[in-house]
Structure 1
């Protein structure tokens, strides 16, 4: 099932928006302190990654199956092993862990809207 999800995602991949270099830099600055903990074939993670592509967001992807450190950090600091999970490091150093794909997508769309 996971391979089918990845194949369909590849075939029907959304387009990134056309922005000026300056506008993209502004968006990149807003997303530089974000990391997405994920599994490659998780349908909810694919949903978030598609939203990222649709909005043209460059966010670090952290595969918890390929890197034990990411998985352990997610459990230790986020509180559970659930993905997708967006790690948000605020300017004051506080870290927020946002679970649920619809909440993550809404947060990312809000970032772009404010830009």
Structure 2
């Protein structure tokens, strides 16, 4: 008699594991909100652009990382948020204070034209 486990005994997690050096979620005190990878957010640029942009959070970084030609020094106490812009599809890391809030369905990215 075999004591092999049945096929139904194994379970598969539907939640993907985050890579090392990232967080599953982050609470932003200034905005009093929780954000996670996959959330659609409204954020302000580093430059003095008056119109905020929208994008999707790719990951919350807690380690040193290169994005394109830029280098970001993130730590668990000072994380960076990697956002993919809705309009340009470019990915850039921002500090949590650049996040304005979750984007609503009517938000347009860079609607200055």
| Structure of greater relative contact order (alpha carbons < 8 Å, 6+ residues apart) | 1
Q: Do they fold alike, i.e. is TM over 0.5? A: no
The structure carrying a bigger helix percent of its residues is: 1
In the superposition, the TM-score normalised over structure 2's length comes to 0.31
The structure carrying a bigger strand percent of its residues is: 2
